[in-house]
Amino acid sequence: MTLNYIFNYSYVSNENESYFTYDMYDSSIISRFVMDISGQIKQFTWSNTTERWNLFWSQPKELCDVYGICGTFGNCNQDTLTCECLPGFVRRSPTDQNFQVPTGGCGKNITNLECVPINRLKDSTDGCTRNKSLQCRSKDFFLPIAASNFPDNSQSQNFNSMEDCKSACESTCSCNGYAYTDSGCMLWDGNLLNVKQKLNVSAGNLYLKQQSEISSSAPTSSPIPITEVRKRRAIIWKIIIPVFTLVAIIMGAFGYIYLFKRDKANKKGKLKELQSVLADLLKSKATYNNTSNTNMLDDVKSEEETQELQIFNLTCLATATNNFCLKNKLGEGGFGPVYKGILQNAHEIAVKRLSKNSGQGIEEFKNEVVLISKLQHRNLVKLLGCCVEGKENMLVYEFMPNKSLDAFLFDPRRKAQLNWEKRFNIIGGIARGLLYLHRDSRLRVIHRDLKVGNILLDEDMTPKISDFGMARRFSGNQTIANTSRVVGTFGYMSREYIMGGTFSEKSDVFSFGVLILEIVSGKKNNSFYDPEQPLNLLLHTWCRYHNLYGHMEDD
């Protein structure tokens, strides 16, 4: 196809995703697609030389191939680009000098065919109907018309001769024509659409049913230029589009008001529920001391060292962050922006503010408050408190001066600070935090969004797992769960979780494995590293491992 010379196609398919993209092969070419009023979709390219748009491609290719371009029983001449009625037909309305399309078309210029009554034709969608029932009689004849292509909606019949095909149409009063070709017999029961004629191009003869009084020389309506048809269509669309737009705006406004009120009521209910949860947390210590494993006592803070969950007011946090100044912004995640703040006692904090456009909401906010307030470990980020005031929902954490791990790992300059000893210690710290969540905490928690951006580093480069908005709590002997809402980050999610929504401790272990690869290699998993195959870091590593050790095992 010609399009291959201006478009560059690419197709990517792996275990995580499959997608198709295309762009201009030459970025200097300017192209646009237009759905024309004629019914064609057209592609134009801009010529700097002539300073005009040139038609590059259209579909249908020829104007006469547009469905119903000349209406019912209309004949489209591709050479002259005119519409005219088939012999024996006149314009739908004698006073319609513009050959109204698509509501126009042609009707018989004789009121009815003389034959016995038969079922009345259904009204056509473009307004062409018969005034009286068709009546079949033997005097009717068929007028041959050379056509470059036959009308749509034909019915194929298995007849061995042209006479049998003709007899079948004669015996059916609703049959308006037939054709017999090498492919067999074709009958047209009802309106004829898209009869087309073109010089030196013929698909065969179309035999149109006529009354005996009609001859091949019978006058027909004068040809109408297709440009006039298109002008009439443009007028119709100029009326339809504003009316449709107005109706859509009114319906959209009512729908928005309804959804807004419903959403507001849901949020109010969730806020009341959240305030109730916070009230319960404030009645007691917000943390639990876990002594289920004596080997973890050094990592788990004692109850005397923990603080109660604090409720901050909006004024306090606005002052601490200099009214959420952009200079104090540390970054932004799925929950919303994170700001650095300094309290009146000079204590540094990190304030995570729920964004109105966030994919997370009140449920995730409540989930994070409840979980982190009951979890205490040196490798988990510490929640100091929260703020629920008006439309504002904020979480207050201990401040991490070294931000997140990806700020070091993928920075060309700062990555040099991560020597092998520090990388090993970071991996060990993440492993201890994950073990605490899965086995040594009173609350068994599956994080579900473990990634390099959710590993924070304190002043001593101690790793701390953060962002528990998507985490889920397991109870009792539960080892596996399923969800219809798959959340997380592609590249870190296991196959069973992506495909079926099944998650367990193994889901976090899979993410941890990807983390180890990124920490050791210093490369992002969602990038490609094989020049011959589009493999991400995980698949690239697996192939290298298989090529190196797979052959050794075979030997």
Q: What is the pLDDT of residues 138-172, one digit of tens each?
A: 567 788 888 777 887 778 888 888 888 988 888 88
403-550 CATH fold: Transferase(Phosphotransferase); domain 1 (1.10.510)
List pLDDT tens digits, range 370-409: 888 888 899 999 989 888 887 788 899 999 999 899 999 9
Contacts of the segment 511-518: beta carbons below 8 A, 24+ positions apart: 511/447, 511/449, 511/450, 511/451, 512/430, 512/431, 512/434, 512/450, 514/451, 514/538, 515/427, 515/430, 515/450, 515/451, 515/452, 515/455, 516/427, 517/541, 518/409, 518/452
Q: Which residue has the higher pLDDT, 501 or 261?
A: 501
Question: Exposure of 227 by Cβ count < 10 A (0-12 exposed, 13-18 middle, 19+ buried)?
Answer: exposed
Q: Where would I find the H helices in 84-185?
A: 162-170
Distance CA 203, CA 259 (A): 57
According to DSSP, residue 436 is labeled I
- Average pLDDT taken over every residue of the chain: 76
Residue 171: phi, psi to the nearest 5?
-80, -10
b/e burial code for range 458-475 (CB count within 10 A of at least 16 → b): beebebbbbbbbbbbbbe
Same fold flag, 310-398 and 403-550: no
Distance CA 176, CA 183 (A): 20
List pLDDT tens digits, range 38-77: 788 888 888 888 888 888 878 888 888 888 887 887 888 8
Q: Could you tell me the pLDDT band of residue 282, with boundaries at 50, 70 and 90?
A: low
- HSE at residue 325, side-chain half, CA atoms within 13 A, is 9
Distance CA 498, CA 103 (A): 51
Q: Where are the domains of the chain?
A: 7-59, 74-92+119-211, 310-398, 403-550
* Interacting residues of 330 by C-beta distance below 8 A, sequence separation 6+: 338, 339, 340, 350, 403
Lowest mean pLDDT, pick from 2-6, 159-163, 519-523? 2-6
Lowest mean pLDDT, pick from 108-112, 258-262, 433-437, 482-486? 108-112
According to DSSP, residue 467 is labeled -
Q: Which residue has the higher pLDDT, 37 or 113?
A: 37
Token pair of 282 as six digits = 């404030």
Closest residue by Cα to residue 206 from 195, 214, 190, 198? 195
Distance CA 349, CA 255 (A): 42
CA distances from 481 to 183, 284, 371, 445, 498 (A): 60, 30, 18, 12, 13
Lowest mean pLDDT, pick from 207-221, 276-290, 489-503? 276-290
- Residue 56, helix vs strand vs coil: strand
Which residues are identified as catalytic? 449
Beta strand 89-91 with 135-136 is unpaired
Q: Could you tell me the pLDDT band of residue 509, with boundaries at 50, 70 and 90?
A: very high
Q: Is the pLDDT of residue 367 over 50?
A: yes
Distance CA 432, CA 399 (A): 21
Region 310-398: CATH code: 3.30.200.20
Q: Could you tell me the pLDDT band of residue 1, with boundaries at 50, 70 and 90?
A: very low
